[in-house]
Amino acid sequence: FAPQEQEYQQALLLVVALAGLGLGLSLICIAVYLIRFCCCRPPEPPGSKSPTPGGGCVTWSCIVALLVGCTGIGIGFYGNSETSDGVSQLSSALLHANHTLSAIDHLVLETVERLGEAVRTELTTLEEVLEPRTELVAAARGARRQAEAVAQQLQGLAFWQGVPLSPLQVAEDVSFVEEYRWLAYVLLLLLELLVCLFTLLGLAKQSKWLVIVMTVMSLLVLVLSWGSMGLEAATAVGLSDFCSNPDPYILNLTQEETGLSSDILSYYFLCNQAVSNPFQQRLTLSQRALANIHSQLLGLEREAVPQFPSAQKPLLSLEETLNVTEGNFHQLVALLHCRGLHKDYGAALRGLCEDALEGLLFLLLFSLLSAGALAAALCSLPRAWALFPPSDDYDDTDDDDPFNPQESKRFVQWQSSI
């Protein structure tokens, strides 16, 4: 799967061209059949009112072709729904991944700001209170250095901050395209359904004008069916190539778009024991620093509070900040583990490579059945309407209507006899 290469693009265009070739051949076959029917039909003897042999077979073949087309429409609705479900699963996975990445950035930012505020206020106040005891001031400054180190280590955990690629934007773009794709297929399916139903109605009523109009519409839907078949075939081929081995392409594309290191991307996309956590060192250093701060604060509370009662308030505030920081740290450890984001990645691939691909194959089958059924109907409809009895323009007129030509003729004869 290399969509950026020209040879691969030409291969997909060849698949689309095959559908165009099929459309051309079907139109040629229909034209040749109709020309042969019009030009090689034996002349009917004058005054012959016997039905043309094989007329019932022609009508029934047309009806069977239209019923096959209706079956294809049902398959098309199912395939369209499956494709939409797969794309929806992809969008949901992207939105959940965006929520996880945003939560990581938010927790890192909140924790760093809280630690910075504690360093600027509580620790500064504590150093001023403990100024008469040099060893206690040194312990407070050691806690300051540890807090600054924790904040520095935590800032490196927000790996997605500032990245130009947004999963939320990708999900919105995918949903936007899918909405119009789904709507276009629904309109195509409804158009073909209406054509089939009105054609069947025209055959049942033996309405020549309705059958002629539906014949023209059938030709239009035939062209649309072959066009959709080309797009579906090219998309199915490209998607199957992608799904055969998606990891290398996703890794390279994400690295190009985001500029992140391959270690981080491999950890989340592969999520196996062979790839270590790239944030493990930062997490270990942060955990040790938090433990050191906690022990230093306990030591200060034990030694400084009896001598400096005013130090109790900043120490309590620092302990509260430390507890909140440790809670945020444990949440970060859980969010930074590859399980969550890899689960979203797997859900996105399942939606794309299972439901969406299955839906595309059903849509391809719909287009194939539709093209075959409409081609057969286009060959049968002209022969069918040629078998319709000639319509009398005055069959439905009232006998007492003075504008009826028959009544007008009888009125003239009566007047001349008088």
Enumerate residues 6+ apart whose C-beta is below 8 A from 303: 136
Largest CA distance in the chain: 145
Enumerate residues 6+ apart whose C-beta is below 8 A from 182: 80, 83, 84
For the stretch 337-356, pLDDT in tens is: 888 889 999 999 999 998 99
User: Would you say the C-alpha torsion 56, 58, 64, 69 has a positive or negative sign?
Assistant: negative
d(CA 233, CA 246): 19
Angle ∠(127,132,133) on CA atoms, nearest 5: 80
pTM: 0.80
Is 20 in contact with 230 (CB distance < 8 Å)? yes
Enumerate residues 6+ apart whose C-beta is below 8 A from 290: 146, 150, 322, 325, 326, 329
What pLDDT is recorded for position 139? 81
pLDDT under 70: residue ranges of the chain: 37-56, 58, 383-418
What pLDDT is recorded for position 48? 47
d(CA 268, CA 349): 14
What pLDDT is recorded for position 21? 92
Residue 38: its H or E element: helix 6-39
Of the candidates 348, 352, 271, the residue with the CA atom closest to the CA atom of residue 92: 348
Of the candidates 91, 112, 47, 24, the residue with the CA atom closest to the CA atom of residue 356: 91
What pLDDT is recorded for position 392? 44
Provide the residue ranges of all domains of the chain, joining segments of one domain with +.
Answer: 58-387
d(CA 374, CA 66): 7
What pLDDT is recorded for position 180? 93
What are the CA-CA distances from residue 197 to residues 70, 190, 207, 218 (Å)?
9, 10, 13, 11
